[in-house]
Structure 1
C-alpha cells in the first residue's frame, strides 16, 4: 500500500509559522467585554460554554487597528497603568477577537447519560457532540467558586461516593464511569440524579449541593484553579471554603469597574503622546530637568510644548491625596472624584473650546433664583463629556462594590501596563443641593435615625460577606448620600419621559461627602446617540425647576403603597427603605450602587412625619 505523501507545513509571510486560525464562537459587543463578558466570565454560545481567557497573550493577539489604545491619564494614574485598550472588534471582517477556553470541561450526554470530560466523548473536531450517540453535549450546569475568585469543576466523584467507605479523597479511583439523568418529575435539584457504574455508591440527587457547608462536609477546600489562564497556569494556594453555583449565576462573575471623566487640562488629547512617560516626569521638579528628559526621549522634538508639560505636571500634583504619604487606592480614587466635582462646579465657560476639547461645561443663561425654594443650586450644562470605564478586576460570590482589593482577582497572571476599557461620549446636567439647607436637614433626629437603620443593615451585610473582619469596607450610607442617590433616580425617571432617552441610556454619578453634595446625570451610551442635545436642554433653570417639582410629586405615590412607604426594610439585606421597582429603582446600567441605599421618604417625607423629606412642602409651586 502506497503511503500518503508527506504534508507540507504551511508557512506565513517570509517563511514564518502561520498565525493560529481559531474557530469563531459567537459575537459580543465591545461594551459587553467590559461589563458582562470580561476576563474570567462564563459565556454560553448555543449549547456550548466557554470562559473568557486572561490578558497575558492579548498584547500579541489583539490587533492594534481593531483594538485601539485609549488614554485617560487621571484614571490610568489611579489604576497604576500607562494606557487602556478597547476590546477587539468581533464582526465578520475582524481578524481576531476575545480568546476563550472551554469551561466547564465536565459534560453530559442526554442520550447515553454519560458524565465525563469533554475530550473523553471523542467529539469530531470543531464540534461538541457525543462520539457514540451523535447528540449535542450539555456542559455541566454546576461549578464551584471561592471568595478569592477561583473557579473550578463541580466534584461529581466526591459527591456520588460521599457515603462509601472509600471516602471523598479516593472517589476517583473506583474505576467506574459517572452517569447523569433527569427524572423530569420536577424542575428541582431532586430530579437530577448522578450515579457511578462501579456499583459501590447509590444513585444520589443534586439536592443539598448548594448548602454553604455541602462541600466543606466532604472535606473539600479550594485549591486555587484559574481556568481562564489555561492549564499551564499554576494553581494558587487558597484553602477557602467552596460554594456550588449554577453556571449562569450572576455571582459567578462580577466586574470591578472604575471610571473617570476627561476634564481639563487632560481633555483635549494633547497629552496623549506622553502617556508612558508621566511616572518618569513626576520624578523631576525643576523645569530644566523635565526639558532634558523630553529632549532625550523624543530626540529633541517633544510632541507637547514644555510649558504645557509643566502645567500638566502641576495639575496632576493637585490631585495627590492630602496628608497621605502612602495613599491607598481608595484615597487616590476619592481625590479623582473631588477634582471632577470642582471642575463641574466651575465649568469652563471662559475658555475657547477647540474641536478636540472633550469637556464643555457651561453655566445656564436663565435666572437661577427660581431654584432657591427647592434647595437646588449651581446647575451646569455639560454639553460635551467623555468618560472612560476600565475593567480593573473581577470578583466571585462577593459584591464588587463592597469588596476589598484583597478579594479582587486580576485579569492576568503577570502585571500589565494596560487594562481593557471603553469610552462613553455624551452630555449631561450637573446640579448641587444648598449646603445650608442640607446641613440643617441632615442633622434632624428623624432623618439621622432613618438613615442609621439603613447604615446598620448595610454594614451587617458587608460584615457577613467579609472573610477578614478587620478589612470590612465601611458603608457609605449618610443622609446626603441617600438623598442624592434617590434624587438622581427620580430625575432619571422624569427625564426619560422628557428628554427622549430611555432610562437605561442615562446614568448617575454621585458626589457625596462632607464637602460635596452634587449629582451628575448624563448619557451612558458609547455611540453618537449619547449627544442628541435633549438632556442638556433640561438643565435650564426654568425647565429644571419644573422637572424637580414633577419628579418629587411623582415620588409621593407608588403603586405598592402603603406597603412601600411604610416598610421597615426592603431590598436584599434590608438595605433600602421606601424604594421598589414600581417607584425609584432603575436599570442596572444606570445606577452606581446596584439599586441599594434608596429611600424616597427622604425626598417627600412620610404620612406620619412629612418633615423627614428634604423637599417637603415644595411639591406645588
Structure 2
C-alpha cells in the first residue's frame, strides 16, 4: 500500500528522472482490499492514517502479474464493465500496490498540544513527527461525512468559536493557534478540550456527534472526495454532514455484488471474448458473428462461432422479459434466477472437462427422508467459483438501505473494470417443499409477524433514501425470512458439527414467488475452502439429522424468554426473535447484515407453537 507518487523532477539534461520508489506504508490481504480497506476507506498504519486512493490511474500502475484480470461475464454485464482485476498482492517483492493519501490532514502533537495541518508542523521528509517537539503526530480522531459519500476534516475552528461567531469572518478564519488536550478526568468526549490562542473560552467535544451539531453551526457538506485527489473538484452537495470516529464502520461500507460461475460460462472458454461482447451482442446471425470474430482476432477465433451463438443465447435468457424495465434490480434478480435453475438441474462431474468450475450433483442417499421435514431436492455442490466485485461504497448508511444515487464512485471517470476477488469452494443447496411452504406462509399469524419486520425495514430504507418515492420494496416475505433464518442455524450447526469456522461459511438465498432455496457454501481464500467436509453434510441422512439438531438448538436461547418474546430487535426493529446468542452470524457470512431474522418462524413461540415451519420436530 503506497501513497500517490510525487511530481517528477527534471535532471540537468532536461529529461525526466526515473520515478522514485514509493514508500511502503503497510500491507493488507487481497480480500481486505474489497471488503474492509477498499477505495475510499480509512486505514491506520502505525500512528498514521490514510485514505485509499481512487482507481483512475490504477490500470496503469497495477502490475499485470501482481493484479491479473479475472472474468465473470454474467457479473460483468450486470455491472457494465468488461472485466475485473484482482487487487495487487502486497508481498515483499511487490513492485507496486494500492495507492493511499494522507487523511485526515489535521494532526495534533501530544507534547505541545498544537492542532494544525500536517505540513504546518514542518515534519522531516517521509516522517510524521512534530518539527519542534520531535514527537509522533496524532491524526485527528474525528472526521465528518455525509450520506452522499463525501468525506472531510472536522471543523475544529468553527467548533471552538461557535459561541463567539469568530470562526470564519469576511476577513477569513481566525488566525489563532488551536490546541487539543485531554483533561484526563474520563475517556468521554467531555474530556477532549479544544482551545484557541485568540482568547475564546475553551470547549469540549461533547455534543459534536449530535445529528444537528454541524447544522447548528451553519455548516453544509462541501462535497470533498479526498480519495480522488486534490485535482478533482468537489461536488455540489447540500446535505448536512455528521461527525464520526475515524475508525467507525459507518465511515465506509462496501457495495459488493457477486455471482456464481455457472454453465456455459464456468469452463473459462468464453474469457477471450470479454472485450468483444458489446459488439457481439449486436449481431444475430452466425455469419455476422463469424465475421466479427475473424476481425477481432485477426484470424482464427479461440472460440468457435457455434459456441459463441450458444453463449449469446444463454446471455439473452437473463434479459428481463415482457414489460419489465431493465433496471439493475431486475437484472440482478434474473442473474439469481438462472443460478437457481442451474443449482436445481445440476452439472455432473463426469460429463465435464477439468476446467469446469461448477460441479453440482444429486446425493447418493434417498432424499425421501427429508420429506417429513418439508425439505426437498438437496444438491451437493462439489465445486464452485464465486466472483465478488466492489461496485461502490456508502457512508453512514448500509448499502441495502440506499439507492444507487447514494453510492460513492471508485473513480472520477467511468471505468471499464472493477476490483474483485474470486474464491473457490463447495456447498450444499436445499429447497423447501413448495406445497407445504405455501400453506404455511398463508397462515395469518405468520403473515402478521413478517409484516412487522417488513414495515420496519421499509421505513428505514425510506428514511435513509435521498428520494423516498424511488425506494424498492423490502425483500422481507415469509419465505425469505424463513430461508434466511434457516441458513443461519445451519451455518451455526455445521460450524459445531463439521469443524468449519462460522466466518468461513456463507449463505446465498433464492427467495421469491418462484424460488425457495438456500445455498450454504465455503468460499474463502484460506484452508477452509474446498476440502470435501461440507459436501459430506449434504447427504440426506446426515442433512436430516443436522436440520433436526439445528432446529432443537434454535428452540432455546440463553437470552430467553426476552429473545423469543421480543416485540422488536435489530436495527430499527428489522429482527424479531434473533440475537447474537442464537441465530446471528459473523458479518462475512450473512447477505443481509444480520437483519430480517426471526427464529420463531422456525420453532414457534410459547403462545403459538405451531407458528414455526419446523414445529413438528419439537413436538416429537
Question: If the TM-score is normalised by the length of the shorter chain, which range does it land in?
Answer: over 0.9
Size of the aligned set, in residue pairs, is 611
Matched, 1:96 2:92: no
Contact 1:438 1:480 in 2 (8 A): yes
Change (3 A) 1:450 1:543: same
Change (3 A) 1:8 1:490: closer
Matched, 1:117 2:96: no
Shift of 1:326: 4.7
Shift of 1:586: 0.5
State how far apart, in whole Å, the 1-side matches of 2:526 and 2:438 are: 40
Tell me the residue number matched to 2:599.
600
Contact 2:500 2:528 in 1 (8 A): no
Shift of 1:350: 7.8
Shift of 1:529: 3.4
Tell me the residue number matched to 2:82.
82
Tell me the residue number matched to 2:6.
none
* Greater mean deviation of Cα atoms: 564-573 or 25-34: 564-573
Shift of 1:473: 3.3
Contact 1:10 1:18 in 2 (8 A): no
1:239-288 CA-partner distances (Å, limit 9, x unpaired): 11111111011110000000000000000000000001111100000111
Change (3 A) 1:301 1:19: farther
Shift of 1:38: 0.1
Change (3 A) 1:548 1:169: farther
Tell me the residue number matched to 1:283.
282
Tell me the residue number matched to 1:242.
241
Shift of 1:174: 2.6
Shift of 1:445: 0.5
Corresponding residue SS for 1:50: strand
State how far apart, in whole Å, the 2-side matches of 1:324 and 1:112 are: 68
Corresponding residue SS for 1:576: coil
Cα RMSD between the aligned structures?
1.6
Shift of 1:456: 1.3
Tell me the residue number matched to 1:58.
58
Shift of 1:92: 0.7
State how far apart, in whole Å, the 2-side matches of 1:256 and 1:197 are: 44
1:328-353 CA-partner distances (Å, limit 9, x unpaired): 11111110000000000001138612
Tell me the residue number matched to 1:21.
21
State how far apart, in whole Å, the 1-side matches of 2:358 and 2:151 are: 42
Change (3 A) 1:140 1:18: same
Shift of 1:471: 2.4
Instruction: Output the TM-score relative to the length of structure 2.
Output: 0.96
State how far apart, in whole Å, the 2-side matches of 1:437 and 1:314 are: 35
Shift of 1:461: 1.7
Q: How does 1:219-230 map to 2 (within 5 A)?
A: 219-230=218-229
State how far apart, in whole Å, the 2-side matches of 1:171 and 1:112 are: 28
State how far apart, in whole Å, the 1-side matches of 2:136 and 2:167 are: 33
1:290-340 CA-partner distances (Å, limit 9, x unpaired): 111111111121010111101000000001111256511111111000000
State how far apart, in whole Å, the 2-side matches of 1:85 and 1:61 are: 13
Matched, 1:473 2:472: yes
Shift of 1:166: 3.4
Shift of 1:10: 10
Change (3 A) 1:10 1:316: farther
Tell me the residue number matched to 1:581.
580
State how far apart, in whole Å, the 1-side matches of 2:308 and 2:20 are: 43
* Greater mean deviation of Cα atoms: 173-182 or 275-284: 173-182
Shift of 1:168: 4.2
* Greater mean deviation of Cα atoms: 388-397 or 496-505: 496-505
Corresponding residue SS for 2:383: strand
* Greater mean deviation of Cα atoms: 258-267 or 469-478: 469-478
State how far apart, in whole Å, the 2-side matches of 1:373 and 1:112 are: 73
Contact 1:158 1:171 in 2 (8 A): no
State how far apart, in whole Å, the 2-side matches of 1:509 and 1:259 are: 10
1:562-617 CA-partner distances (Å, limit 9, x unpaired): 11111111112121111111111100010000111111110011111011000111
Tell me the residue number matched to 1:590.
589
Contact 2:144 2:152 in 1 (8 A): yes
Tell me the residue number matched to 1:252.
251
State how far apart, in whole Å, the 1-side matches of 2:169 and 2:345 are: 66
Tell me the residue number matched to 2:192.
192
1:12-31 CA-partner distances (Å, limit 9, x unpaired): xxx86423411111110000
State how far apart, in whole Å, the 2-side matches of 1:10 and 1:589 are: 54
Corresponding residue SS for 1:614: coil
Matched, 1:365 2:364: yes
Tell me the residue number matched to 2:297.
298
Tell me the residue number matched to 1:39.
39
1:219-243 CA-partner distances (Å, limit 9, x unpaired): 1101110000111111011111111
Corresponding residue SS for 1:76: helix
Q: How does 1:458-607 map to 2 (within 5 A)?
A: 458-527=457-526, 529-607=528-606
State how far apart, in whole Å, the 2-side matches of 1:283 and 1:331 are: 21
Contact 1:268 1:357 in 2 (8 A): yes
User: Structure 1 regions of 5+ residues with no counterpart?
Assistant: 1-6
State how far apart, in whole Å, the 1-side matches of 2:599 and 2:169 are: 54
User: Structure 2 regions of 5+ residues with no counterpart?
Assistant: 1-8
Corresponding residue SS for 1:535: helix
* Greater mean deviation of Cα atoms: 590-599 or 158-167: 158-167
Change (3 A) 1:589 1:10: farther
Change (3 A) 1:10 1:367: farther
Instruction: Output the TM-score relative to the length of structure 1.
Output: 0.96
State how far apart, in whole Å, the 2-side matches of 1:325 and 1:589 are: 33
Structure 1 stretches of at least 4 aligned residues deviating more than 4 Å after TM superposition = 167-172
State how far apart, in whole Å, the 2-side matches of 1:592 and 1:532 are: 23
Change (3 A) 1:461 1:136: same
Corresponding residue SS for 1:522: strand
Change (3 A) 1:303 1:114: same
Q: How does 1:119-198 map to 2 (within 5 A)?
A: 119-166=119-166, 168-169=168-169, 172-198=172-198
Q: How does 1:196-207 map to 2 (within 5 A)?
A: 196-199=196-199, 201-207=200-206
